[in-house]
Structure 1
């Protein structure tokens, strides 16, 4: 799958330029580790919303579809 997305793709450049690990620290107080069903990984959720913003995908349902179909978004 890695070979299907060009090295100079915009999202690869974003991934190399931004360390998204800070999101875990920001979101830690908002997640309960031992109650309810497991949450979506906050970094993945943030990345999904960023893709939606960058590519003009306004609907979260549509965003989910696009991420399932477009390898570059994964």
Structure 2
């Protein structure tokens, strides 16, 4: 089943992200320019209507993009997402959201 995260960052996390991440950061620029909702349309046929929810395909796409941009492995990008605030903001994860080790 296609899983979608809410994409909402609460006010507290938004204030932290705004203060700590420079406005000219590459991921901030990318997020302002590109609407990643096209990923849902491309991937919808690959998800069943039954079963447990998957990881949001936009999150997976953004993880792959960050791997490419920063020359990281699957494990490295997930590990850095646990500690890098810019990565969390780009993925629209709040500070208290759990990041799982996933196989990309």
Task: Give the alignment's TM-score, normalised by structure 1.
Answer: 0.89
In proportion to residue count, which structure has more helix? 1
Verify: 1:40 aligned to 2:40, yes or no.
Answer: no
Separation (CA, whole Å) in 1 of partners of 2:49 and 2:82: 27
Task: Say how many residue pairs are matched.
Answer: 72
Separation (CA, whole Å) in 2 of partners of 1:61 and 1:71: 17
Partner of 1:67: 81
**1:28-62: CA deviations, max 9, x gaps?**
00011312x321100011001101100000x2112
Separation (CA, whole Å) in 2 of partners of 1:67 and 1:33: 29
Partner of 2:24: 8
Mark the runs of 5 or more structure 1 residues left unpaired by the alignment: none
Partner of 1:51: 66
Deviating above 4 A after TM superposition, structure 1's stretches of 4 or more consecutive aligned residues are none
Report the CA distance between 1:25 and its aligned residue. 0.3
